[in-house]
Structure 1
Amino acid sequence: MELSWEVGALIGISDIHAAAERIAGHVVRTPTVESPGLTALLGAPVTAKLELLQRTGSFKARGATARLLTLGERERAAGVVAVSGGNHGIALAVMAAALEVKATVVMPRTAPARSVEIVESAGASLHLTDGMDEAFALTARLRGEGLTLVHPFDDPEVIAGQGTVGLEFAEDAGELTDVLVSVGGGGLITGVATALHALRPGIRVWGVETEGAQAMSRALEAGGPVPVELSSVVTTLSAPSVSQLTYDHASTLVTEVLLVSDRDAVRGSLELAEHAGVWAEPAAGCLLPAARQVRERVGDGARLGLVVCGRNATVADIMGWADRFGLR
């Protein structure tokens, strides 16, 4: 199936509904729950979309599946390739295996050990590089050899798949004023913001980045995608730049992209465990310090929604970061 996407067009709610129909039965409709623990912690009603309970441990299974199901026979036979800081690679490896498509995954050596193990156990061909820039370069070469790229965020079908998170959130949550979404390359926030603005007019959508993984905030400052230096421990948010597609959506639909430190992101993971009873990676933990910023700005009328995006960090990972930042 050939993609027929007009360059410069924005994703629409009809695209997300179509993706939802396509991936139904392949992914999980994850729970949307009110959290008394986080409500008490943040001083405002909190509803969480528990995408960490998704198949493969993160929302990435949605976009990967949406794209894989559009492949033609020749593309399926040649195989697919993806570059990833962890979760997109896991999703592509696992979902491609389920759909009997050969997958190649390129990740930096800094990717979580759990991600490497899962990709290999799923049967994908794995290449490790010295950094994300090198990973993207190798992926481009492999694409030139005939593999079909399943980009983590610069692909309308992937974004529409991620947008099904927002579709379900809008359908299942009570009243919300502000929704917080983690940002790497921008695929998740693009899809979620598109769905929420279509179905919940007036809602504010806030992005959250960690220091040293600031691709979207720098793009918004510059007026378009720019390369950024990466230094955050949160490799799953570490895109070397956003795409024009995700920038165009964020500049139109996102209220602001908030910045938090790695230390606060790791502390957020510990707080999610203690106050919400969920084990989430720092890419989701960063939502809590950002939620405090939103709560202070919005005031007493805030009703917060959190997209808890993934769980693919081990106890050893989190405890190691906690020791590094003096959180124990």
Structure 2
Amino acid sequence: MKLPSYDCVRFEHVAAAMHRIRGGIVRTSCQRSHWLSEITGSHVHFKLEQQQFTGSFKERGARNALLSLDGEARRRGVVAASAGNHALALTWHGVQLGIPVTVVMPTVAPMAKVDKCRLFGANVVIHGAHIGESKQHALEVYGDLRYINGYDDPEIIAGTGTLGMEMLEQVPDCDAVVVPVGGGGLIAGIALAMKTMQPGLRVIGVEPKRCASYSAALEAGHPVPVAVMPTLADGLAVPQVGAHAFAVARHWVDEIVTVDEAAVALAVLRLLEGEKMVVEGGGAAGLAAMLPGGPLDRLDLKDKKVLVPLCGGNIDVTVLGRVIERGLAADGRLIRLTVPVSDRPGGIAELAKAIAGMGASVKDIFHERAWLHTSVDMVVIKAVLETRGFDHNRQLIRHLRGLGYETAKLDGINETKDEKEVLEALKAPPAPAPQS
């Protein structure tokens, strides 16, 4: 596969886009996070792109692409495939500029994004299991319209580069930028702009493990299709990176890492609790990589000034609820306890009293008899508990063990060293009391 040249998008294109879109785009704020700087050990600055009118950075590229059309293309209108944010941005700016927009959205697109596209006046077509199938449908059925690729058109890449220019204006002495990666357009534009202006800056990309299309392209040397599995970072679930985006990004980007679902959920939770910000999974992927135990722990970012664009805040309320629960589980604050207790009156009450005495809260509880074969007078209790975290979990399991619940088990804890410590505490005898 012959790739475009890395200079298919140049810095002058980004500078022109910066001037072109200025009147229709929000200059979003960029602020240091005290709490997440403490947690990560870096000086973390968030670029708040969820402050754009449609809730994501996609407006930059969409407006630049629409303003670059000739008169005939504007009259006929445009078509795009998108899981939501590109569709929203294109629709909104199409309305402002009087350009008809058709968007083909996959069946997994969040309903909040689908409904907003319809409210903005787009012709919304739901088709395909993922964005790749949606794109194919758009090209086959709406071939007479100009197709605007949300991550690979040179005008889109140039538009996203304006985000990099803004970040350097706001934090000129930054050491690194950590960017979510889906189709590659965002990191291509940011890396091109920022490393042209500041060559010593490190540009690090982050993509979900369940759709690591950029990593696959790096390994193959060119964009290749990958399997798309459901992910909390739905906006990054692109089955194949764009050829233009990959050519540009490969030249400028320093490092690419992947994050799992637990890390994404925890990042959304940290932003909600610590920063009072609602950010979608894909938008929080950069922070997910920086959290303790994440893939960027091994890189030398401690005490460095790091920029992290929060790329979008469009998330269904129902999905947000599920993400919060997964984040609590990853944080050790939502656990599953399995323990046999007496099936006689008071057996469950005694367990509940022991749990309450340790300050844990029972969120859900049920019991099973049929699968406990060791004793006819025992019942297995399965409970979901809210706790204060891993230290509290260790104290809880030791306390239950000391009360005679020796076969109690904790499930559903994030696979970190803390989980191993909790499970080891189950096996080990209680620590002796210190001697006075």
Distance 1:29 1:230 in 2: 33
Distance 1:50 1:200 in 2: 21
Q: Which residue of 2 aligns with 1:178?
A: 176
Shift of residue 198 of structure 1? Answer: 1.1
Shift of residue 295 of structure 1? Answer: 4.4
Unaligned runs of 5+ in 2: 335-436
Shift of residue 95 of structure 1? Answer: 1.0
SS in 1 for 2:46: strand
What pairs up with 1:225-240 in 2 under 5 angstroms?
Answer: 225-233=223-231, 234-240=233-239
What pairs up with 1:241-252 in 2 under 5 angstroms?
Answer: 241-252=240-251
Shift of residue 252 of structure 1? Answer: 1.3
**Candidates 23, 30, 33, aligned match of 1:32:** 30
C-alpha contact 2:268 2:323 (8 A) present in aligned 1: no
Distance 1:137 1:174 in 2: 41
Shift of residue 52 of structure 1? Answer: 1.1
TM-score normalized by the length of structure 1: 0.94
C-alpha contact 2:265 2:326 (8 A) present in aligned 1: no
1:300 maps to amino acid: K
Distance 2:173 2:192 in 1: 18
What pairs up with 1:158-237 in 2 under 5 angstroms?
Answer: 158-233=156-231, 234-237=233-236
**Candidates 17, 20, 23, aligned match of 1:19:** 17
Distance 1:174 1:315, change over 3 A: farther
| Total equivalences in the alignment | 322
Which protein shows a greater Rg?
2
Q: Which residue of 2 aligns with 1:75?
A: 73
2:47 maps to amino acid: K
254-263 vs 56-65, which deviates more?
254-263
Distance 1:155 1:92 in 2: 13
Q: Which residue of 2 aligns with 1:315?
A: 317
Distance 1:279 1:223, change over 3 A: same
C-alpha contact 1:81 1:142 (8 A) present in aligned 2: no
Percent same amino acid among aligned pairs?
34
C-alpha contact 1:208 1:257 (8 A) present in aligned 2: yes
Q: Which residue of 1 aligns with 2:141?
A: 142
The RMSD of aligned alpha carbons is 1.7
Deviations 1:15-62 (A, max 9, x none): 111001110111111111111122112111111111111121000001
Distance 1:238 1:299 in 2: 27
Shift of residue 104 of structure 1? Answer: 0.3
Distance 2:230 2:153 in 1: 25
SS in 1 for 2:27: coil
Unaligned runs of 5+ in 1: 1-5
C-alpha contact 1:41 1:275 (8 A) present in aligned 2: no
Distance 1:299 1:310 in 2: 24
What pairs up with 1:104-143 in 2 under 5 angstroms?
Answer: 104-132=102-130, 133-143=132-142
Q: Which residue of 2 aligns with 1:286?
A: 285
2:319 maps to amino acid: D
Q: Which residue of 2 aligns with 1:272?
A: 271
Distance 1:299 1:173, change over 3 A: closer
Distance 2:247 2:191 in 1: 12
C-alpha contact 2:62 2:89 (8 A) present in aligned 1: yes
Distance 1:303 1:294 in 2: 14
Distance 2:248 2:54 in 1: 26
2:162 maps to amino acid: T
Q: Which residue of 2 aligns with 1:262?
A: 261
Distance 1:253 1:232, change over 3 A: farther
Distance 2:22 2:117 in 1: 23
C-alpha contact 1:50 1:308 (8 A) present in aligned 2: yes
Shift of residue 175 of structure 1? Answer: 2.2
